[in-house]
Structure 1
Amino acid sequence: MQAFGLYTHIRANRIRSGFLIVGLFLLVYVMVFAGALLAEALTGDAPLDVLLRMALNDLIAAAPWATAGALVWLFIAYHFNRALIAATVGAHPVTRQQEPKLYTLLENLCIARGLAMPRLYIVESPVLNAFATGLNDKQYSVTVTRGLLEALDDAEMEAVLAHELTHIRNGDVRLMVIAGVVAGIVSFVGEFVFRGLTRMSFGAPRRRYSTEGRRGGSGGGAFAAVLIALALVAVAWLLSQVIRFALSRSREYLADAGAVELTKNPDAMIAALLKIDGRGELPSAPSSVMEMCIDNPRSGFTDLFATHPSIAARVDRLVQYAGGRLPAPTPAPTTPQGPWDPPSDAGQPGPWGPHPASS
């Protein structure tokens, strides 16, 4: 679904979040069915339709357990997503007393926007980046790196904080967290299936079933069943990983625009993006966290698979549509001449002969 404008973007995010939750259970059931089909094919031989029917019976029997496991995963993600992400990147919470200037900047922006004050975290890293996370007003948090604090001035830091608050307001943060949960649980189930297969005894005598599913009779469908099961596992895993590619990259343009609307300072947003460009790689952060950041250097094979527009494209939008201006280039430093330095025209001919060099 394409999103045109702010309110359609927010509504589209809510719809996508619901679809992702439904898709989570569907992908889990596909993975369980694929695992059951592999188990039936590797422990017994029968026509393909018999193996498929037996795997479907296994799925029906295992569906309550698979549903319970997915619900437990969602429960853990819902209540502990902020703590888990903070532990992954090494972030720690800070208070007004510890970071008074940063805390005040964020608080003033929340008051102006009418948002609840999120928790503030800092990652002790020299890289330049920031992100927001959470699923509701009680969980939202904004995380910045120490390098960002040291590199940006107050106006630029205010613009970055406003960018992250706009992601919270627009529902981008909730959607990205849910997408990460979907990818995580499907990857876990897929790994569980493959680990179970590696522990199976492939040298054990294989059972043979008739077309009615009884022992004896001709088989021949095991190889096709294995191929189908492996294809299902691969497709489910790939879908869980590429879900983020379906998430609109317009969210970054809208967050930049929201920051300008809130701060009334497009130049600060441009300056902050230019400083962050190419300096935002968090080595300890998984891809699901980097996709939440203000800049994600992990663009994939081509720009088609990038989760963020390029910094140059975002700056260009701010210049064209928000009245922003590119910062003036810094002049090259010049070396002043001292009284002991020879003049620049030393040794050059003049009307009364060459200029003398300083001794």
Structure 2
Amino acid sequence: MNWRWHHFLNALESVLLVAAMLLLMAAIGWLLGGVETLYGMLVGGIIFLLIAPRLTPPVLLRMMGAQALTPEQGPRLFAMVRKLASRSGLAHFPHLYRLPTPVLNAFSTGIGKNVSITISDGLLRALDGRELAGVLAHEISHIRHKDIWVMVMADLFSQMTWTFSLFGQLLLLINLPLWLMHRHTMPWAAIILLLFAPTLSVLLQLALSRQREFDADLGAMELTHDPEGLASALRKMEDGQEQEMNRLFPGGERPAIPSWLRTHPDTVERIRRLPHLVLPDRPLDSWERDEGAPLPQAKGPARRHHFTGFRL
């Protein structure tokens, strides 16, 4: 893979996302209050973009109840991450966090020196060393590709548009009585833009996420050259998600999610592609996981949160 080309595309998409966010805020400001409101919205948007990307990841980890892992708790885990990070050429060693939940999950988040990988207790207990190496290599590939910055921008766009949508619903409730009474109303174009902006931002976020999962799988294969390790981890995670869905819908009736509304590609398709991503004649590494690490037993699923990182 041409990493420079991948970084260029990510930078281009980040610029386009920022431009789209600012243009949306400018359009809403102009429709609601003219030029002065437009400038106010632009200034507020720039301040938001400068501050939010650095504040969101730590807030996310605190909301989820993630706890920092130490080398004493998982010496082999740290050695595994150190080896993969060194092999990938990362400038900064990612921080490691554990998520006290039995759900099989892992994700990367953060920017610059503050990048981190969070692994659930359920995943640490369910995977062997080979499978865990595949998962970690996948997350490290997201960090290496600088995917996180793009998706943080996309997620901030999504959060902003959902906030605007709530404001649009409030304006709609105010506007309808005024319209019925033939009074002066607020611009309908601004209200419609506020109401439908989240739909476009969500579709954009989903499309960006799905493509980057395939790229991260490719990056993981370049780091481990072990398609079966990652494939086995993906199967276990898929089985875990199936069990969670069966608990939520015990009667077997559950809604089918269209492929274009999924944040991740189909697991079967990802597994099918893996063997074709490996270079021949490369010996496999021996990965050992920590046994009996002093991690508290998980009590239940993590709290709901807004997506600002990459889940495997």
- Shared fold (TM-score, shorter chain, > 0.5): yes
Look up the match of 2:127.
Answer: 152
- Tell me: CA distance 1:129–1:199, structure 2 relative to 1, closer, same or farther (3 Å): same
Name which of 224, 235, 253 aligns with 1:274. Answer: 235
Compute the displacement of 1:197 (Å).
5.5
Give 2:147's aligned residue.
172
Structure 1 residue 24 corresponds to structure 2 residue 21: yes
Query: Structure 1: how far apart are the matches of 2:160 and 2:256?
Result: 22
Change (3 A) 1:152 1:230: same
Q: Matches of 1:140 and 1:104 in 2, distance apart?
A: 17
1:310 aligns with 2:266: yes
Q: Which amino acid aligns with 2:192?
A: A
Q: CA RMSD in A?
A: 2.9
Aligned: 1:261 with 2:222: yes
**2:141 corresponds to which letter in structure 1?**
T
**Pairwise CA distance, 1:28:** 1.6
Identity %: 31
Residue in structure 2 matched with residue 129 of structure 1 by the alignment: 105
Q: Distance in 2 between matches of 1:14 and 1:130?
A: 25
* Corresponding residue of 1:86: 61
Residue matched to 1:44? none
Q: What do residues 142-178 of structure 1 show as CA deviations (whole Å, max 9, x unaligned)?
A: 1111000000111211111111000111121111111
Separation in 2, partners of 1:178, 1:232: 20
Match of 1:243 in 2: 204
Q: Distance in 1 between matches of 2:105 and 2:257?
A: 22
Structure 1: any 5+ residue segments left out of the alignment?
Answer: 37-57, 209-221, 284-298, 325-359
| Deviation of the 1:300 alpha carbon | 7.5
Structure 1 or 2: more helix by fraction: 2
| Segments ≥4 residues shifted beyond 4 Å | 4-7, 196-208
Matches within 5 A, 1:171-250: 171-195=146-170, 198=173, 202=177, 225-226=187-188, 228-247=189-208, 249-250=210-211
State the distance in 2 between where 1:321 and 1:113 align.
Answer: 16
The CA distance in 2 between the partners of 1:235 and 1:181, in whole Å, is: 16
- Identify the match of residue 120 of structure 1 among 78, 88, 96: 96
8 Å CA contact retained: 1:30, 1:233: no
Q: Classify the secondary structure of the residue corresponding to 1:117.
A: coil
How many pairs align? 267
Secondary structure of the structure 2 residue equivalent to 1:279: helix
Look up the SS of the partner of 1:122 in the other structure: strand
Report the counterpart of residue 289 of structure 1 in structure 2: none
User: Does 1:8 pair with 2:1?
Assistant: no
CA deviation vs aligned residue, 1:77-123 (integer Å, no higher than 9, x gap): 22212212212322121121232222221112112222110111111
Structure having greater relative contact order (Cα 8 Å, sep ≥ 6) = 2
Q: Which amino acid in 2 is paired with 1:231?
A: I
Cα separation, 2, equivalents of 1:201 and 1:127: 45
Residue by residue, what CA displacement relative to the aligned partner does 1:184-221 show, whole Å, maximum 9, x if unpaired?
1122233234335646894698667xxxxxxxxxxxxx
For residues 236 and 300 of structure 1, do their structure 2 counterparts lie closer, same or farther at Cα, with a shift above 3 Å needed?
farther
Q: Secondary structure at the match of 1:277?
A: helix
Amino acid at match of 2:278: A
1:76 aligns with 2:51: yes
Q: Which sections of structure 2, spanning at least 5 residues, go unmatched?
A: 245-254, 281-312
Q: Secondary structure at the match of 1:131?
A: strand
Contact (CA 8 Å) 1:6, 1:254: kept in 2 or not? no
> What SS does the aligned partner of 1:144 have?
strand
Counterpart of 2:138 (choices 138, 142, 163) is: 163
Query: What do residues 207-254 of structure 1 show as CA deviations (whole Å, max 9, x unaligned)?
Result: 67xxxxxxxxxxxxx69x53x333322332322222213416332222
Contact 1:126–1:147 (CA under 8 A) maintained in structure 2: yes
Which whole-Å CA distance do the structure 2 matches of 1:239 and 1:263 have between them? 37
The normalised TM-score by structure 2 is 0.76
